[in-house]
Amino acid sequence: MDEHRWRLGDRVALVTGASTGLGARFARVLHEAGAHVVVTARRRELLEELARDCGDRIEAIAGDITSAEHREALVELLATFGRLDVLVNNAGVCDDGPIEEQSLDELRHVIDVNLLSALDICRLAAPLLFNAQGASVVNIASIYGVVASRSPMAAYNATKGALVNLTRELAAQWGGRGVRVNALAPGYFPSELTGFLADPAFAQSIREHTLLARTPDLAEIDGPLLFLATDASSYVTGQVLVVDGGWTAV
């Protein structure tokens, strides 16, 4: 096996929603694989802590991903490299409660963070992706982009499902340009969004609904992310890689 296919030496990556949880983990994984990583999120102090931990080859730019001006600033920074090799659209939030009890503003916020920001980043960064040799886009979807949830969160499910089909559409549009577009659909990993699986009843429900009958370790998302980001998946595009311990298999 050619181990260089799993490396990202001298490549440029952007990870959105990188202040904590899966986003911060993704940034560390890409950095350890050799990439120069640009990270963004709202919480500047957490981004700066991440940058200190990683050392060189990482740049943090704090801001609100729902801001068009911030998205433009991100792409302007990336333009100084002349290309973008890996784009991880990870920024996401979750809604809660029956849709009839939600406000339009609540629904719009989830759509802005989870879907519109990814659409616009792809639009703005397209020329930089085309400039790269075999760029990879990884849209972070969810198991609830492929099946319905047991909890009422219509906007989250709708946006994650939309990300799955955006993945297919951009794979079709950009395949001839050498850009691969795939989605990663995690199950319940320990993160801020899942309360780090600290609730015993919640953790037990995961064990009961997964074929592997256990909760995952955060490190178990590393390989799937690295596979999609590197040349290890050079003939894979338009696909959804579900990492859920078998939750969606039955």
**Residues catalogued as catalytic:** 156
45 CB burial (10 A radius; 0-12, 13-18, 19+): exposed
Residue 30 · residue 227 · CB < 8 Å: no
- Taking the C-alpha atoms of residue 238 and residue 205, their distance in angstroms, rounded to an integer, is 31
Q: Are 240 and 181 in contact (CB under 8 A)?
A: no
Coil, helix or strand at residue 11: coil
Residues 6+ apart with CB under 8 A from 218: 22, 25, 189, 190, 191
d(CA 18, CA 101): 30
241, 184 Cβ separation under 8 angstroms: yes
